[in-house]
Structure 1
Amino acid sequence: MTKLTIVARIQAKQDKIDLVKSELLKLIEPTRQEKGCLQYDLHQDNTDPSVFMFHESWESRELWQTHMGNTHLQAYMAATDGAVESFILNEMAQIA
């Protein structure tokens, strides 16, 4: 089984930073309790507060995909509909 690293960059619209941040923070505890979640850390850019980044580590891609279908992630998507400027997700493998 190959571990999966996820780096997700979320940029909130300037007038929606607080909303997006509060909704992202709600994801932390339930996600950290999910099967296969090894790491789930949220960061905010020091110079541009509209930019957030998740650094995640999962036991497998399959378990991460289960996470992507969970209700707390769907609730986040509904709550932030129209509030996110851009979202970039990278699936990565650690090589060193």
Structure 2
Amino acid sequence: MTTLTIVANIHANPDQTELVRAELEKLLPITRAENGCLQYDLHRDNDNPAHFMFFEKWESRELWQTHMNAPHLAAYMKATDGAVAEFILNEMSSIG
């Protein structure tokens, strides 16, 4: 089985850091319970508190796509509209 690894970097606007953090933390229990979610960990940069990173592992790209279309992710997007300066997502595969 080839799993999908997702690395998502979220850079909050400096004056919206705590809002973005709170909204990201709301995603943790819901997403971890989703079908196909093997790992869903949120990190914060030690030197830049406005930089958050999700490290995720999914059973398949299809199950991750289901997650990306889930209502709780849409609610996050609405709640953080205008609060995120940059969002970079990488779909990755393990090579060793």
CA distance in 2, matches of 1:12, 1:22: 12
Corresponding residue SS for 1:10? strand
Extract unaligned runs of 5+ from structure 1.
none
Q: Residue 94 of structure 2: SS of its match in structure 1?
A: coil
Q: Which runs of 5+ in 2 are unaligned?
A: none
Structure 1 residue identity aligned to 2:93: A
Percent sequence identity over matched residues? 66
Aligned-residue CA RMSD (Å): 0.5
Distance 1:2 1:38 in 2: 12
Q: CA deviation at 1:47?
A: 0.4
| SS, match of residue 65 in structure 2 | helix
TM-score (norm 1): 0.99
Give the deviation of 1:2 after TM superposition: 2.1
Match of 2:9 in 1: 9
- The DSSP-based 3-state class of the residue aligned with 1:29 is helix
Letter in 1 for 2:30: P
Deviations 1:12-31 (A, max 9, x none): 00000000000000000000
Match of 2:30 in 1: 30
- TM-score normalised to structure 2 length: 0.99
Following the alignment from structure 1 to structure 2, what is the Cα–Cα distance between the partners of residues 95 and 56? 16
Q: Which residue of 1 aligns with 2:39?
A: 39
Q: Name the structure 2 match of 1:95.
A: 95
1:37-76 map, 5 Å: 37-76=37-76
